[in-house]
Chain A
Amino acid sequence: MAAIFSAAVALIILVGWFAEVPGLTSLGAFGPPMAASTAFMTLLTCVALWSRPASVAGRSRWIVNSCALAVSAIAVLALVYKAGGTEVDLDRMVPHISKPWHAAPQTAFAFLLLASAMLSGNRRFRGVRPGDLFALGALAIATVALIGYVFDVPVLYGKAPELPHVGMSVPAAFVVLALGLGYLVSDIEHSLVAILVAADAGGVAARRLFAGAIAFPPGAALLLLGPRLGWYSYSFGEATVLLLAIAEGSILIMSTATRLSRADRALRASEAHVRLLVDQASDPIFIADSDARFIDVNDAACTLTGLTRDALLEKRIFDIVSPEDVPRLEDARARLRAGASVVEERSMRRIDGTYVPVEINAKILPDGRWQAIARDITERKRNDAALARAAETERSLRAELEALMAAVSHTIGELPHSDVEAVLRTIAEQARILTSAKYAAAAIGTDPNKPFDRWVDIGMSDAERAAIGPHPRPVGVLGHAAQTGTAFWISSIAEYPDAGGRPPGLPPFSNLLAVPIKHRDRVIGTLYLADKQNASEFSENDARIVTRLADRVAAALETATLYADEGRLRAWLQTIIDQLPDGVIVIDEHAQVKAMNRAVREMSLPHANETDPWGNPTVFDVRDSEQRPVPADDLPIIHALRTGETVRRGDLFLGQADGRMLPIEAVAGPVRDDLGRITGAVVVVTDVSERRETERLREEWIAVVAHDLRQPLNTILLWADRLASLVKDEKPRAAIERVRRGAWRLNRMIHDLLDAARLQANQLSVEPRAVDAVAIARATIDNAHLTNPEAQIRLTAAEHELVWADEDRIQQVLANLLSNALKYGTPATPVQIEIKNREPMVEISVINEGPELSAEDRERLFSRFSRTAQARSAKIPGIGLGLYICKGLVEAHGGAIRVESGNGTVAFRFTLPRPPED
């Protein structure tokens, strides 16, 4: 703010000089104008002041210093010039300055002070910043000059009659005032006037008194203006000023004193509180002077040392610490001086010569006194020692258990070579060693109504074991731990309430320890120990250590049991899989082979050092129908794993070591866990070479039979035609015509039988392309009219309806349905053919009027050799393959066929796909 104000003033002055506007050079105030050099100094000082807040280091510091040096140089030159020691007049060097207005000596001196203040930085001398003093000096010069102007005392602003120079100008005085204040305020917390902003009582008093001091002179000046203007006499003015001074002084003193007194009371109250706290504090508090002599202690301190307060106040710190702590005390003192607080454990000497362990929290107060709070840590030390002992015991116990667990882990690691019994035996043996027992047993099972699932004992002779019996149960003393879920031990088994029924011949057990084996809070079995060797009974410690053993081994036992169960399951599964005639491969989610049976292994290639892309050592040479290798990702099992779909492929081959191509059928499906996630896949591979051979033979046989049947048919047809052309009589001609028709029907039957055989062997193939269903329907209708010109057939369809179909086969289907409709429909009623768009399919329907089909007929209609009751009773010729073949053909196209019957009509409807988009 001050810098901006001053810079603005300086700039206006300079403009005044350059533009030769006299009014501007003195800012319109009375008195002399501000010299140009003063304006320059102002600007430089402003820059220095502006840069100062960041005056830590580097560039800003550099700017501050150079500006301050420049100001100093100008000021010194001005002073020297005034003293007549040089001819260098700076102002004359400035163009446009005709009249020599030089910087007044006190102005120059004030700027020299300001520059020195800037240069002195933050250095301190005896706690005072010289810079602050320089700034105050400049402020004093400016204030004197201003007061001089206000009270019209020329000597104050430097226009002494005996001095040949003009004084400090009004703008210069304001600028110096502003810059001086600016300097002090810019870093007020650390400056000499910091007290003005202090939050304490001094700050309050300073602010009030300072405000009063500042406010008084302008008031007084105003009052003294009256006589000058002739309003009242000087004596009246002076009297009023005096009264004002007394009044203001009184108010300020009273209010400040009140505030100070209130603060003092609060301070004393607070001190009393602190005193009370100190006295009542449970921890001993010692305060010593810088000479280490106690000056204050509380009651707890007296109790701790065993000395009275007065006696303690005569001691020094060294008197109550142990001799070996004295050198360390010096060390602590050095650290405390550096401002740290010290927390240490020491021994403190009591009056009776004993030492008390204490924790001392010491610091040096701002006034140089020592303050120490001691805390008796005897109890804590005792607890620490006990804890350390407990930890040591724990450690040794843990080490013992670790060793034991290692033994158990080793046994489990040997699984499945070792079994659950071995694990139990290891555990029992370890427990026996831990407790020095003569006998030990480990058992799984808690149901008192049946023997233990597993029982292992150690230390018993065969005779003793025989006396226990082959199947002990968790009842009586053996069932106690399992039923209560807690360890229990007795010094004599005879004391157990239910012990009366013990079978004779039992080992002479005296004492017993039984500990439940728990897994996830569920008792799964019990550890028994009997006849402790080196004591009369088992101790609580024995119970604890065996309980910990039981806790640690429970999970292991569970694992072993599960392992055993799963192992059995796996072995069982492997046996089943191995005995399957089909090959089976099971993989996990990473395509790693998890199981594989003998059958599939025999289909693999014996490459010893090769692996498949997933690192499995068994390699299969899978080929497609054209004997090309199938990419790994297209294998059915991988496809099932990736997509979760069941895949069936009957067109694959497995290359064999002898070069044969083994035809296979592979069915693969995903393996999912309980949450439905895919965790692997399984494939069943069937060698279909025999099936293929059978199919091939059957196909060949059918072809041969069909071929051989057609040859005589050809003879019949040719000769029937020939006979018909030779015979003129009507009767024989009709007979010949029947022969011809019979031959043609026989031909159709052969055709149907061949199709049916192929259908059954899944070998009926169609060759679809985009064809017009409407055109096919028209052609079929035309053909029907050739043999049956009377037939009424109506076609309802759009002009074209493209389908993806084998034209000949669809014509075959349609002809079959149309022929059925004409055969079975009510004579002389029309047959309707409808072709409708049923996205994404096209539906073709053949509808006739006539007897409805029974539900039974509708169900069986599409099966082989099926004929309706009506057909049989009406003796309509046919062998019942037509609809079976229609269904097969429609399905081979990806369509579906169905029959509807009602309201005196029968409708056969089938669908065909539309051609693919591209």
Chain B
Amino acid sequence: MPAPSLATSIEGREKSVASYVDPATLMRIKNLQLRAKVVVEGFYNGLHRSPFHGFSAEFSEYRPYIQGDDLRYLDWRLYARSDRFYLKRFEDETNRRCYLIVDASLSMGYSSIGYTKSDYANTLAATLAYYLTLQRDSVGLLTFDDGVVDYVAARYRPGHLRHLLACLERPLSGTGTDLEAPLSRVATLVKKRGLIVVLSDLLAPIDTLRKNLGYLRARGHELLLLRVLDPAEVAFPFQESAIVRDLETGREMYVDAADVRKDYARRFAEHEGQIRSVCADFGIDFARMLTDQPLDRALYDLLVAQLRRGRTIHRAGGQWNKKS
């Protein structure tokens, strides 16, 4: 299936759908699993209307039978029609692994619209986990602040989702955001290729980001970087001067908002530009998730990533860096 048409369809769908669940409403649901379910089912509803059902079909291709092949996979119907022996090949989807790397540092506790970035990121992670579980994929979780907080290996079995959600519901702690530790940890732990989804505000120096992402990419992992940001962090809409306190370090700074807004915007854009540049270099999907935007978008991003992964394997046989 041609990729451009898929991507275009998703984008078009994103724009056309206005009936998504309002995140503020969604966040009022206390139960994380219920929240995920709401998002995923809404997404499915949308899918039913989409032309892409059966996208995750198991069937991949036919190949001619050679002596010694297991006769179980012989397609008898095709033989009946064409009198040739063909084997049916299937995508190895059941053993797909996905790791969710969730930022649990204190900066994720910032909120300007009633719920925090952490709430949003946890809901997002739960949604992805629920969705993947429904697809019978193995889902793992790693939360971090200035170190690794929780690590749950990727599995598919009853109760695993509940375990993941419990980990996500732990309160925030930590005084910094250090991406290096979780990424290098995942790089060492996850041997088989998989999908790695990073949910973080990425409010940290990105010196080591390039190196660690490069490691993961070199191991054949597919990476999805979801940057969760509060709208105020992007726009810096404050007017008055105030003492600004850093949520992580507690450092205080007198800031005249009107004066520094321009400078803030410039430096913020510069930082994000660097992140985007890294992601572009390694073929990593990057998406900025503002907390006032619907969560379903992340699912689309996930699907795009899966799609690209499948295509990459299929076409390039592991040459992940070939641009699609």
A, B assembled together: no
Interface residues of B (CB under 8 A from A): none
Interface residues of A (CB under 8 A from B): none
